[in-house]
Amino acid sequence: PPSPTPGSKALYLCSPFAEAALVKGNFKTIVMLPKYVDMTEWVAVNIFDFYTNLNLFYGVLTECCTSQSCPTMSAGPQLDYTWIDQNRRQIKLAAPTYIDYVMTWVQNLLDDDLVFPTKAGREFPPNFPSTTKHIYRQLLRVFAHIYHAHYHQLLHFRSEPHFNSLFAHFLAFGREYGLLEVKDVRGTATSPVGVGDLWEKWKDMGILEG
């Protein structure tokens, strides 16, 4: 697929696409912790839903996201994410491989009753907060790659209002519960994350409040 020409503004930052939204108004209603509800349970079900919904859209793009089209897990002109292997080595992977690793890893965690308990009476493990931060970070990378490399394909499908709202909800929720680090959204000065600018833009527009 044609990547955005260097120098020109990314499509997802342009009008009318950056403003396109399925969910209008403030995310507060669906992000805020419902009174008296257990916060861990609330975070768990939301992560479950973000994963499911992101998977849904990545499923649309699998024929576009191949090791030929995306030999690296790109998320900006100067940014390729690396995967840390079992020996703690950073390795470059083709985007579909990387995303497959992420999604499989998250799915396994969600299916593990010791990590995401579903049985009545079973508690969340003590390291649950750090696990969820890890998951969030990796899901953010999948969003970042789709925005960077596949946004024009989402435009062909007219899916940008949907995908934008999913991502905006993901960002709003992540900030509210401390699951998302600003540095992960922005990246570094030398290799910025493409969607970091979108985040700024949405913040300015006031759609992430809540």
Partner 1 sequence: PSSSSKGPDYVYFDRSVAAFSEDAILKAKAAQLKLANYYKIAVDSAIERNTRRVELERKLAADTTSSDDRKARQLAQLGRKESAFLRLRRTKLGLDDFRTVKVIGKGAFGEVRLVQKADTGKIYAMKTLMKSEMLKKDQLAHVRAERDVLAESNSPWVVQLFYSFQDTSYLYLIMEFLPGGDLMTMLIRYDTFSEDVTRFYMAECVLAIEAVHKLGFIHRDIKPDNILIDKDGHIKLSDFGLSTGFHKQHDSNYYSRLLDTTNGVSPASNPGRNSVMVNAIHLTMTSKDEIATWKANRRKLAYSTVGTPDYIAPEIFLMQGYGNECDWWSLGAIMFECLVGYPPFCSNSTHETYKKILEWQNYLVIPDDVHLSHESEDMIRRLICGQDQRFNVDQIKNHSFFYGVDWETLRQIDAPFIPNLRSVTDTSNFPTDELESVPDQPAGADTSGANKDLAFLGYTFKRFTTSGSGF
- Interface residue list for partner 1 (CB under 8 A): 9, 11, 13-18, 22-23, 29-30, 34-38, 41-42, 44-45, 48-49, 53, 56-57, 59-64, 110-111, 116-121, 152-153, 155-159, 162, 165-166
Q: How far is the CB of 67 from partner 1 (least distance, A)?
A: 18
Whichever of 87 and 118 has its CB closer to partner 1, that residue is: 118
Instruction: Return the structure tokens found at 136.
Output: 């969030």
Comparison of 75 and 166: residue with beta carbon closer to partner 1: 166
Q: How far is the CB of 35 from partner 1 (least distance, A)?
A: 6
Q: Tell me the C-alpha distance between 29 and 32, whole Å.
A: 6
Nearer to partner 1, 35 or 88 (CB): 35
For partner 1, the closer of residues 11 and 94 by Cβ is 11
Least distance to partner 1, CB of residue 159, Å: 6
Minimum CB distance to partner 1, residue 61 (Å):
8
Instruction: List, edge to edge, every strand of the sheet that includes 73-76.
Output: 73-76, 79-84, 90-92
Tokens of 137: 């970070």
Show the beta-strand stretches assigned E in 23-127.
73-76, 79-84, 90-92
CA–CA dist 42, 97 (Å, integer): 30
C-beta closer to partner 1: residue 70 or 184:
70
The span from the CA of 144 to the CA of 130, in Å, is: 21
Q: How far is the CB of 193 from partner 1 (least distance, A)?
A: 20
What residues contact residue 72 under an 8 Å CB cut-off, 6+ apart?
Answer: 80, 92, 93, 94, 95
For residue 83 the two structure tokens come to 């995967």
